[in-house]
Amino acid sequence: MPWDNDAYNSTRSITALVKAACASKNLLIPSPLSFHDVARLIEVDEDESVSPREDQDDPLAQELCDAAEALEYTERSGGVETTVSVTDSMAALFDRSSAEAKALKPRLFIAWRMQGESQSIAAMLCACLYSRDETLGTDRFTHTYCAQHGIPRLGDNSLFIDVVSSRGQPHAAGALLVLTAYNMVMRSRALDYLCTIAVTPKMKRLCEQLGMDTFDYREEGAARTLAWSKKGDLSASDIAGRLRLHREFSELCWRAGATQRTQDKRYPRC
């Protein structure tokens, strides 16, 4: 199998894999926006909706608000409807008047679809440091509860994905944002885990296909799944399968070592 070599699972190789996959799908994923980057662009209204700040003439402010609204969707499972809202997540994590939100060091990841001379937001992901918090839906995960169910101790060593949503085209835009967040964990000295709570079957499938560990539970009658991965645990083989990469992708974008000592290693060239 083309991805069986462990050298493909290194930080450098996973980063190259994500970048090359983005290029093949005409996607651009820049560095994530910080709390201050987003807070200077948007205003969180009293009804927890978001709108561009009146003192901002940056066109990105309007694009973020419009895309967040357009990416909202509702999914039904087991008779329960669940709404996935980037707007709600932005209101909770990027409110400039909230010291609690600022302390979580949130990040906004954006996937831009590049089409000729135009571009549009194809997917968005909000993430922050993990915290036991009712707003994040993590309040039940006490140390005792986690120990009883084989869940690692998550804390400020963990990056928590609050929400991810995509338009469906191009394929795997949302998955590539999740992998970009995973790369952030891989490169960090302070972070050890990437985690999320999947509130829809769609997100649960994504986590399972990427090879994340999962724990299923119910909350107010609705199915929920806590998913997590320690840095270094995701495999290029699972990632390539989820992204539906061409079978020759590994040969095109990696080369074998040039010496007898390194011939079993793989080095990115994309």
- Which superfamily is assigned to 20-235 in CATH? Gcn5-related N-acetyltransferase (GNAT) (3.40.630.30)
Confidence of residue 158 (pLDDT cuts 50, 70, 90): very high
Q: How many CA atoms lie within 13 A of 181 on its CB side?
A: 34
Every domain of the chain and the residues it spans: 20-235
What pLDDT is stored for residue 117 in this prediction?
Answer: 82
Overall average pLDDT of the 232-248 stretch:
85
Q: Is the pLDDT of residue 260 over 90?
A: no
Gap between the Cα atoms of 54 and 245, Å rounded: 43
Q: Is the pLDDT of residue 1 over 60?
A: no
pLDDT tens sequence across 57-82:
899 999 999 999 999 999 887 778 88
9: helix, strand or coil? helix
What pLDDT is stored for residue 5 in this prediction?
Answer: 77
pLDDT tens sequence across 76-122:
877 788 899 999 999 999 999 999 999 999 999 999 999 888 899 99
Gap between the Cα atoms of 58 and 44, Å rounded: 17
What pLDDT is stored for residue 263 in this prediction?
Answer: 80
